[in-house]
């Protein structure tokens, strides 16, 4: 796992990441916990909600370069194959429409189709 890279990324967050983190930290959104710059296997994701297996990515300008878009798509497919779910937002959107971004995250967190696994009933 990339623990050192995750620490380094936490120390050097972009302004959109800092802004979004200020709204997600300490269970501020839907009383749901998030981690920032969290390592998962060979990857480090921007924000991660363990309870919902939700990854939130904030994509800056570099993510619009075709080569980076291919890497992002492959990375996302690999993580989705492991059972994780994704929400992606452009950095500009976080800065200009934070309320809309938070509403989208809240909608995902509260939708009924993403329920925790229920234990099997005892025979």
Task: Identify whether 95 is part of a domain.
Answer: yes
Task: Identify whether 74 is part of a domain.
Answer: yes
Task: Identify whether 120 is part of a domain.
Answer: no
Residue 85: CATH number of its domain: 3.40.960.10
Q: Which residue has the tokens 């995902």?
A: 108
Task: Identify whether 23 is part of a domain.
Answer: yes
Q: For 10-60, give the DSSP string.
A: HHT--HHHHHHHHHHGGGTTTT---EEEEEETTEEEEEEETTTTEEEEEE-
Q: How far apart are CA 81 and CA 85, in angstroms?
A: 9
Task: Identify whether 121 is part of a domain.
Answer: no
Number of domains in the chain: 1
- pTM for this predicted structure: 0.82
What is the pLDDT, as a whole number, of residue 122? 43
Task: Identify whether 81 is part of a domain.
Answer: yes
What is the pLDDT, as a whole number, of residue 63? 82
Range of the domain at 98: 3-105
In this prediction, the residues of the chain whose per-residue pLDDT falls under 70 are: 1, 5-6, 10, 112-123
What is the pLDDT, as a whole number, of residue 64? 84
Q: pLDDT tens across 89-101, in order?
A: 999 999 999 999 9
Task: Identify whether 112 is part of a domain.
Answer: no
What is the pLDDT, as a whole number, of residue 5? 65
Task: Identify whether 113 is part of a domain.
Answer: no
């Amino acid at each position: 796992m990339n623990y050192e890279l995750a620490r380094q990324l936490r120390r050097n967050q972009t302004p959109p990441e800092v802004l979004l983190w200020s709204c997600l930290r300490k269970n501020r959104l839907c009383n749901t916990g998030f981690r920032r710059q969290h390592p998962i296997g060979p990857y480090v994701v921007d924000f991660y909600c363990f309870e919902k297996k939700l990854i939130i990515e904030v994509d800056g300008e570099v993510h619009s370069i075709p080569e980076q878009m291919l890497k992002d798509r492959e990375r996302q497919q690999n993580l989705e194959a492991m059972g994780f779910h994704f929400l992606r937002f452009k950095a500009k959107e976080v800065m200009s429409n934070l309320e809309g971004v938070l509403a989208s995250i809240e909608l995902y967190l509260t939708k009924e189709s993403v329920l925790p696994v229920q234990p099997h009933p005892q025979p």
